[in-house]
Structure 1
Amino acid sequence: MRQKSQVGLFVGLITLDFIYLAKSVPRNNQKIVAIDYTVAAGGPATNAAVAFSYWHQAKLIGVIGSHPLCNSIVADLETYQVTVEDLNPTQVEPPPVSSIIVTEATGERAVVSINAVKTQVTRDRIPQDILQGVDIVLIDGHQMVIGCAIAQQAKANHIPVVIDGGSWKPGFETVLPFVDYAVCSANFHPPGCKNTTEVFAYLSAIGIPHIAITQGENPIQYQANGQCNTIAVPKIKAVDTLGAGDIFHGAFCHYILQTSFAEALAAAARVAAAACESFGTRRWMQQQI
């Protein structure tokens, strides 16, 4: 449901996700039959890009390669009109693959995955015009060298930079000085930080003006220009929590281009909650958000 021609650039991990809905995760040596399944492109930046594409134009930059499995990734992204800049199109190794089991009764997910450690690329792979026409940038930290270079360019061109702080990754400290919006999970622990108070202090000391920490079904804690507050999130019966944080980030990138930090967080929380009410990372887009 595109409203305007704004463009978001999403930098990071691209995977192929095999997602199963089951009564429970299997025990050792047990075989189970899934109730439902779906296959989709995945990764924090990828799911955020797809979510953003619900309203605007999304560009995704990362590594896909030429392995036959990559055809499924490309086809899924084409369905949602996400433009992809493949940083290593001749790579013949399989893409990172994730296997996810979602428990029917709770919506909780169990994930086995490979991250982007084996698919890192250098900054010379970045196209010179990558930021042309871009209104906002999101970096998930899985291509840190690329992410740092793009964040630096975006800052110089007054393009807002968002980080998906799902967890701390070595090298994030090189990106943070260029960040306008740090939207993190409760699992994001910079060096020496053991609680949210220390995380806020760490990020504030770097000079990030807008910081938020999501806590699942618990209220979002946020700080804007030194002022702290909380935002309640919708109460739902979760069907599938997979990708909720990624979808939250994609929705946030949409709303922050339209409204205030607090209002963007609240609106993104509503979208992420709606996404949790259906199986997989795509079916929520069939609803009216």
Structure 2
Amino acid sequence: MASVVCTGVVTADLVFRLPVPVDAPVKYRATDSALTAGGCALNAAAAVARLGGAAHLAGSVGADALGDLVCAEMAAEGVATGLVARVAGVPTARSAVLVGPGGERTIANHRDPRLFAAAPVLPAPFSFDAALADTRWPEGGAAVLAAARAAGRPAVLDAENPVREASGALRAASHVAFSELGLADWAGEGDPAAALERAARDLGIWVCVTRGPAPVLVHDGAALFEVPVFAVTAVDTLGAGDVWHGAFALFLAEGFAPLAAVRRANAVAALKSSAFGGRSALPDRDQLDRFLKEHA
């Protein structure tokens, strides 16, 4: 069982499913709703656990009821929370999420900077098979990725916008997976393929950019590749990128070649997006394997 430590933002999400797009400041009546634990690192850790890996979450929550919710949900998912700090007097980060009829989501998030005052304390020597960090906690991410890379383990950065504020984590990573907005923030507006080639050259590492329903672009330092995504009817895309990164880090930890890890992560994100309700459609290993056989 490969182990992955996931570092970054942890939230409590109040999610509403709406029958129409959010395009006016009026009252909307939701057709469904859910209160669930969320955040980039948490969703990634849940994906690792659901796929059979040993998942460890490193982050901070408040010593409040929402922090209790987060830790209880992760325990139910089989995610180890020994590296999650409980900060007294500070509220757990929270998001209000509106999911439209095509699965697109609008997010309003609040996180108190006091949650990120100290980097996570990891066991020494570094004892995980891979590390994943997001840009929402730049200092914590840089520390964890540097420890993983020093130990010769995959150190994956979820390079979501803003990326410029996380330069330390960017330089510590062995693999950087940009979002489209993250790549644009780092490289400026322009052709994604050209921007990715420049990122591979300037950073000297493996890079890719996820683009929603469009193929993932990958540059391994020598050549550019496209990895197609899987066509599904998107119902809820909240956290799809997060679980993609968790799955990708796990498959690297298991020894998959990066392109194969990308394809498998594409399948995990597609399956997760096929139903409403946070992680309700997040696949386990058997479901993933069946899906991949059906789409060979």
Fold match by TM threshold 0.5:
yes
Which residue matches 1:194? 189
1:191 is displaced (CA, Å) by 4.3
Q: Equivalents in 1 of 2:273, 2:125: separation in Å?
A: 32
Q: Is the 8 A contact 1:62 1:85 kept in 2?
A: no
CA RMSD in angstroms comes to: 2.0
Which residue matches 1:17? 13
Q: Is the 8 A contact 2:98 2:107 kept in 1?
A: yes
Q: Equivalents in 2 of 1:216, 1:29: separation in Å?
A: 27
1:218 matched to 2:217:
no
Q: Equivalents in 2 of 1:130, 1:92: separation in Å?
A: 30
- What does residue range 183-262 of structure 1 map to in structure 2 within 5 Å? 183-188=177-182, 189-195=184-190, 196=192, 197-208=194-205, 210-256=206-252, 257-262=254-259
Instruction: Report the secondary structure of 1:113's partner residue.
Output: strand
Which residue matches 1:112? 108
Structure 1 portions without partners, runs of 5+:
none
Instruction: Report the secondary structure of 2:250's partner residue.
Output: helix
| Bigger proportion of residues as helix | 2
1:48 is displaced (CA, Å) by 0.5
| 1:201 partner letter | R
Q: Equivalents in 2 of 1:183, 1:127: separation in Å?
A: 25
Greater mean alpha carbon deviation, residues 178-187 or residues 165-174: 165-174
1:90 is displaced (CA, Å) by 3.4
1:172-193 CA-partner distances (Å, limit 9, x unpaired): 2212222111111111134453
1:26 is displaced (CA, Å) by 5.6
1:154 is displaced (CA, Å) by 1.5
Which residue matches 1:50? 46
Out of 128, 134, 139, the residue aligned to residue 140 of structure 1 is 134
| 2:43 partner letter | N
Instruction: Give the share of equivalent positions with the same residue, in percent.
Output: 24
When residues 135 and 101 of structure 1 are mapped into structure 2, their CA distance, relative to the original with a 3 A threshold, is same
Which residue matches 1:150? 144
Q: Equivalents in 1 of 2:235, 2:172: separation in Å?
A: 37
Q: Equivalents in 2 of 1:9, 1:145: separation in Å?
A: 15
- What does residue range 54-69 of structure 1 map to in structure 2 within 5 Å? 54=50, 55-69=52-66
| 2:66 partner letter | L
Which residue matches 1:277? 274
Q: Equivalents in 2 of 1:285, 1:150: separation in Å?
A: 26
Structure 2 portions without partners, runs of 5+:
289-296
Which residue matches 2:292? none
Greater mean alpha carbon deviation, residues 39-48 or residues 28-37: 28-37
1:119-167 CA-partner distances (Å, limit 9, x unpaired): 22234xx325166430000010222112112222222111210010121
Q: Equivalents in 2 of 1:65, 1:20: separation in Å?
A: 23
Instruction: Report the secondary structure of 2:9's partner residue.
Output: coil
When residues 216 and 26 of structure 1 are mapped into structure 2, their CA distance, relative to the original with a 3 A threshold, is closer
Structure 2 length-normalised TM: 0.88
1:33 is displaced (CA, Å) by 2.7
When residues 131 and 21 of structure 1 are mapped into structure 2, their CA distance, relative to the original with a 3 A threshold, is farther
| 1:133 partner letter | S
Instruction: Report the secondary structure of 1:119's partner residue.
Output: helix
Greater mean alpha carbon deviation, residues 191-200 or residues 245-254: 191-200
Q: Equivalents in 2 of 1:131, 1:14: separation in Å?
A: 25
Greater mean alpha carbon deviation, residues 134-143 or residues 24-33: 24-33
1:41 matched to 2:68:
no
1:201 is displaced (CA, Å) by 0.5
